[in-house]
Structure 1
Amino acid sequence: MKRGDFSAFESKMRAAGVMEAAIGAFRHNYEALCREETGLIPESEIKPAAGLTTFEPGSGEWDPALLAQTVVIKLNGGLGTSMGLQKVKSVLEVRTGVNFLDLIVRQVMDLREASGSKVRLLLMNSFSTSEDTLDYLKKHAGGGFAEASEVELMQNQVPKIDEATLAPVEWPANPSQEWCPPGHGDLYPALIGSGWLDRLLADGVKYAFVSNSDNLGAVLEPGLLKHFAESGAPFLMEVTRRTPADRKGGHLAVRADNGRLLLREVAQCPDADLDAFQDIDTHQYFNTNSIWLRLDLLKEELAKGGGVLPLPMIKNRKTVDPRDKNSTPVIQLEVAMGAAIECFKGAQAIEVPRSRFAPVKSTADLFALRSDAYSIGDDGRVELVPARNGQPPVVKLDDSYKLVDAIEHLGTPSLADCEELSISGPLTFENGVILRGKVAFSAPSGENRVVREGTYTNGEFPY
C-alpha cells in the first residue's frame, strides 16, 4: 500500500466489525501521524492552571430530578496483569466476598433508592474484560445488571501500525496482537457508535459521571452534580493537588493562545521540558480521570466534527508482541478521555479532595484499601476513616509482593493511624498488630517471619 494510505486500515477495521465512529476517530489520529505531528505540547505554549473552584464533600442534598437525568459510567477495560491477574481487575476483593463490581452495584442501587428512578450504570468493557464482567454480574441480575444490552458499553480496538511502513502490522503468529485498545478517549466514539448516546438522551438522561472502576473514591456526589448542572458547562474535570508521587502523571494547564484548559500527559511533553512538567509547584493539578459530561452538548460537538472529537494524538512506540522485543516495531495511537476538556468551549475543572482519588494500581494500593484506614458503607462508598484527615496511608512493598497472591499471607494490620509503611522480605502480621506513624519492617529472604500482636510506632523493625 502507498505510505499514508488509510484504505487498508479502513478495510481491516470494517472486516472486524469496528464501529464507524471509531474508524473516523482513528483516521483523524492516523492522518495526524502521517503529517508528522508529534502530539507534543511544549512548555512555551501553555500556562499553569490557577484559581479553580474547590469542592468539599458532603455539601448538598440529593435532587431526585437531577439524579434521574444522570448515568454513571465506569471505565472497566483493564486486566490486573501487572498484579498477576488474568481476569478483569474489578473482581478483586476489597473485603472478604466483596469486590469492586459489588461496591459499584451497591452505589448505584443506593442512588436509585435516593431518586426513586432507575439510575443507569454503564460499564465500558474491553474485549478482554467483557466476558468476566458479565459472568460475575449474574449475581446482581435482580437489579438488572446482568444483561449486556443494559449495562455494557464496549470499547473499540484499533490496528497497530508498522513503524517502518505506516501500514497495518501483520503478525500471523498471533493475529490478535495486531490490535490494541485506543485508550479511554474511545469513550466518545463508543458512546455515539454503539447508539448509547442517542438511547440515553431519548430516556431523558442529560448528565454523565465517568470514572475508573478501580477508583473507589470516585462516587456520585450530590453537591458535584448540582454544581455541574447549574454551571451549564459541557464538560467538567475533577482534579486534585499534585504531590511528589504524582510528578509523572498528566497535569492540567491552559493553552496560552486561546485560554482553553488542556490536559498534558508525560508522553506529550518534550524531553527538554520534563523538569517543568514535573514541577508540582508550577503545575499544581492532576487529572483524577473522573469527568462530568453534558450528553446533549457532547452530541452537538460530535456533530460539528462529523462524529469525531479532535482529541490530541498520543503516540506510543512498542513491539507487536510486547513480550518479544525483537518483534516488529509498531506505533500504537491512543487518546485520553480527559483531553476532551480542550474540545469544549466553556469546559471547566474543579479541585476535589485527594480522597476522591483512590485507584488500585498496585498491590500496595490494594493492601492499604483492605485495611481499617478505609471504611465501607452500606451505600457502597469507600472512604478514609475520619482520623486520616483525608490523607491515605503510604504503603511501600518490595518487588516480592508485586503479585496479588503474594500479599494474601501478609495479614491486615491496623493502618488507621499509620502515615507510612514499608515492608521488605517475607513477613506475616498477626491479628491485633497496630501500626502508627512511619514504620518499616524487614526480614531476610528465606523463612517467613511473624510480626507479633502489639503496637508499633515510628521506627524500623528488623526480623
Structure 2
Amino acid sequence: MKKEGLPSLFIETFAWYYRQLVEGVTGLIAELEIEPVTDLPDMEALPLRLCQIGEEALARTAVIKLNGGLGTSMGLEHAKSLLPVKNGYTFLDIIARQAILRRVPLILMNSFATRQDSLAALKAYPELCGNIPLDFLQHKAPKIAQADLSPISWPANPELEWCPPGHGDIYTALVTSGTLEKLVAAGYEYAFVSNSDNLGAVIDPLLLGYFVEQGFPFMMEVADRTEMDRKGGHLARLENGRLVLRESAQCPPEDKHHFQNIHRHRYFNTNNLWLHLPTLQQVMRERNYRLGLPMIRNSKTVDPRDPTSPPVYQLETAMGSAIAVFERAAAVRVPRTRFAPVKKTDDLLAVRSDAYVLTDDLHIEPSPEQQHQPVVITLDDRYYKFANDLDVRFPYGPPSLRHCTSLSIEGDFCFGQNVVCRGKVTLVNQTNEQVKIADGMVLEGEYQYG
C-alpha cells in the first residue's frame, strides 16, 4: 500500500479492519440487536418557512458527489457521470449546472479511474473554479484471499488486486486530501452528499433549512421501501436508541426473512446525506481520524467476470453507516422522487424519453402524465444491456413514453422515428432476425413475432 502511494492514515484504517477480519469479525447485525423504525419526520410535512433558512444557509453549503463509478454494468469504460442522459446533457453537465444555479461549490469524490475524464469535462464550467478544489480521490484497498487471508496476487491483471473500500471511505478521504480542512477554514458548515447517478438528489432549501434549524450533526434521507427494495439495506434502531443502517451483506442468513420484510423495516437509505462539517472535523479528531464504521465483508472473486477465479474478501464500509456514530444523528422521510438512480439501461431509456422532463431549475422529474405511476421498463439483456445497444436500436432516440405504463421488450427490435407507446406495451421477437418498428407507429398491447 505504501508502494502505491496511499496515505498512512488510510493504511492504518485498513489495517484496523483487516485485524477485525483475522479475528473473525463478520460485520453482521442480527435482528435481535435492532428494532424497526416506525415513524420519522416527513419532508412533505415540513413547514415552508424552513425554505428561507435554507436559502440563507446556501452560502455556507457545499455539494459533494460520489463519482467513482465507471458504469461497467452498462458497458462503459469511462466515468458513468459522462454518459448523455437528458437533452444531450450528461449526468455531470446537469450536476455542474445545478451547482452554478445555486451558487454552491461542487466537489467530486473521484476514483483513479474517473478523475482525469471528469475534471476534463468540468473545464467547460469555469464558474465552478474557486477556493475549494473540484475533487478529491477515493482510496483503494487490497483484495484479501479467502484461502489464507493474505493480499491476493493476480499477475494476469494486477489492477484486479485492488478494489474501492466502499463509499464510507469519504470521511477518511476528506481528511487525507485536506478537503475537509479547506472547507471548514473557508467558512463552509454544511455539505450535501449523494451519488452522481441519482438524478433526484438535488440540493433542497427546505431540507437544508430543517437540517440547520434542528442543529443535527448528520442527517440521512430515507424513502419508503417497496417490493423492488426488499434486497436493499434498511434503517433500524439500536438498543441505545441510535439509528443504524443494515446492508444486505450485514444480515445473517437466518434473518433474511426479517430483512426483506418491507412492512417491518419500512425505510431504505437513499444515500443522500447532510453533514455538519465542523462536527465531522471534531469527531474525526476525537477518534484519531477513524470513525469506526461497521465493516462490510463482501465475498467476491478476484476477477468479477470470472466466477472460477479465486474467492476474495473486499473490506468495505458504507457512508450512511455513520448515522450510528454521531449523537443526535437523524433521518427524514423523503418522496421517491429524490431517489432516481440510473443503474441499468432500463432506467436510462426511461429518463431519456419524454416520460421525464428537465425543468428550468435543472431538476429531472416525471412528466405530468407520469406523476402517479412512472413507466416500468424491462429490456432484454441479450440486446439492450449496454448503453451503446440503446444507441443502435433506438437510432432516433426513445419512443414517446408519456402515456405508457409499462414497456417490456424481449428479443431484437430497432425503433424508427416518432414511435409512440401507450398503456401497457409488450414486444416479443422469437425469430432470428431483427424486427423494425416503423416510423410513426403507435404501440398499444402485445405484439408477437415468430
Task: Sort the TM-score into its range (normalised by shorter chain).
Answer: over 0.9
State the shift of 1:310 in Å: 0.9
Counterparts in 2 of 1:443-454, with a 5 A limit? Answer: 443-452=429-438, 453-454=440-441
Structure 2 matches for 1:163-312, cutoff 5 A?
163-255=146-238, 257-312=239-294
Distance 1:363 1:356, change over 3 A: same
- Cα deviations by residue, 1:136-166 (Å, 9 ceiling, x for unpaired): 22222x2245x99721111001111222332
- Partner residue, 1:412: 398
- 1:181-209 Cα offsets, whole Å, 9 max, x none, are 10100100000111111100001101010
For 2:308 and 2:419, the matched residues in 1 are separated by 48
2:414 aligned partner: 428
Deviation (angstroms), 1:339: 0.8
- The structure 2 residue matched to 1:79, chosen from 58, 70, 73, is 70
Distance 1:183 1:423 in 2: 34
**Which residue is 2:127 aligned to?**
143
* Aligned counterparts of 1:217 and 1:48: Cα–Cα separation in 2: 26
Match of 1:35 in 2: 23
Paired letter, 1:441: L
- Give distance in 1, aligned partners of 2:370 and 2:201: 18
CA distance in 2, matches of 1:343, 1:405: 43
User: Do structure 1's residue 44 and structure 2's residue 40 form an aligned pair?
Assistant: no
Q: What is the CA distance between 1:442 and its match in structure 2?
A: 1.7
In the other structure, the counterpart of 2:427 is 441
- 1:74–1:213 contact (8 Å) kept in structure 2: yes
Q: Are 2:138 and 1:155 equivalent residues in the alignment?
A: yes
- The answer on whether the counterparts of 1:355 and 1:390 sit within 8 Å (CA) in structure 2 is no
CA distance in 2, matches of 1:193, 1:320: 27
Letter in 1 for 2:190: Y
RMSD over aligned CA atoms reads 2.0
CA separation in 1, counterparts of 2:214 and 2:169? 26
Match of 1:110 in 2: 101
CA distance in 1, matches of 2:53, 2:419: 40
TM superposition shift of 1:326: 4.2
Match of 1:97 among 65, 72, 88: 88
Distance 2:372 2:276 in 1: 29
Amino acid at match of 1:416: R
Query: Which residue of structure 2 lines up, in the alignment, with residue 9 of structure 1?
Result: none
TM-score of the superposed pair, with normalisation by structure 2: 0.93
1:382 aligns with one of 342, 364, 370: 364
Q: How high is the sequence identity, in percent, across the aligned residues?
A: 50
Corresponding residue for residue 350 of structure 2: 368
Partner of 1:65: 56
Distance 1:390 1:61 in 2: 29
Q: Deviations over 1:52-110 (max 9, x none)?
A: 11113994357443001101000000011111111110111113531111101110110
Is the contact made by 2:219 and 2:275 (CA closer than 8 Å) also made in structure 1?
yes
Contact persistence 1:315–1:334 (CA under 8 A): yes
The TM-score, its normalising length taken from structure 1, stands at 0.91
TM-aligned CA distance change 1:63 to 1:266, over 3 Å: closer
Paired position in structure 2 for 1:4:
none
Q: Give me the whole-angstrom Cα distance separating, in 1, the residues matched to 2:12 and 2:114.
A: 24
CA contact (8 A) 1:355 1:391 kept: no
- The answer to whether structure 1 residue 127 and structure 2 residue 112 are counterparts is yes
The 5 A counterparts of 1:331-342 are 331-342=313-324
- What SS does structure 2 have at the residue aligned with 1:68? helix
Match of 1:116 in 2: none
In structure 2, the CA distance between the partners of 1:167 and 1:301, relative to structure 1 (3 Å rule), is same
Cα drift, residue 304 of structure 1: 2.1
Q: 1:187/1:391 Cα in 2 relative to 1: closer, same or farther (>3 Å)? A: farther
Map 1:1-20 → 2, pairs under 5 A: 13-20=1-8
> What is the CA–CA distance in structure 2 between the aligned matches of 1:171 and 1:442, rounded to whole Å?
43
What amino acid is aligned across from residue 358 of structure 2 in structure 1?
I
> Secondary structure, in 3 states, of the residue corresponding to 2:26?
coil
Query: SS where residue 358 of structure 1 aligns?
Result: coil
In the alignment, the residues of structure 2 paired with residue 148 and residue 404 of structure 1 have an alpha-carbon distance, to the nearest angstrom, of: 36
Please report how far the alpha carbon of residue 321 of structure 1 lies from its aligned counterpart in structure 2 after TM superposition: 2.9
Does structure 1 conserve the Cα–Cα contact (< 8 Å) formed by 2:346 and 2:377? Answer: yes
**Matched position secondary structure for 1:38:** coil
CA distance in 2, matches of 1:313, 1:52: 26
SS of residue in 2 equivalent to 1:286: strand
Q: Structure 1 residues 127 and 390, CA, compared in 2 at 3 Å: closer, same or farther?
A: farther
Alpha-carbon distance, 1:300 to partner: 1.6
Corresponding residue SS for 2:236: strand
Per the alignment, residue 11 of structure 2 pairs with 23
Q: Which blocks of at least 5 consecutive residues in structure 2 are unaligned? A: none
Residue type at the aligned position of 1:123: L
- SS class of match (1:56): helix
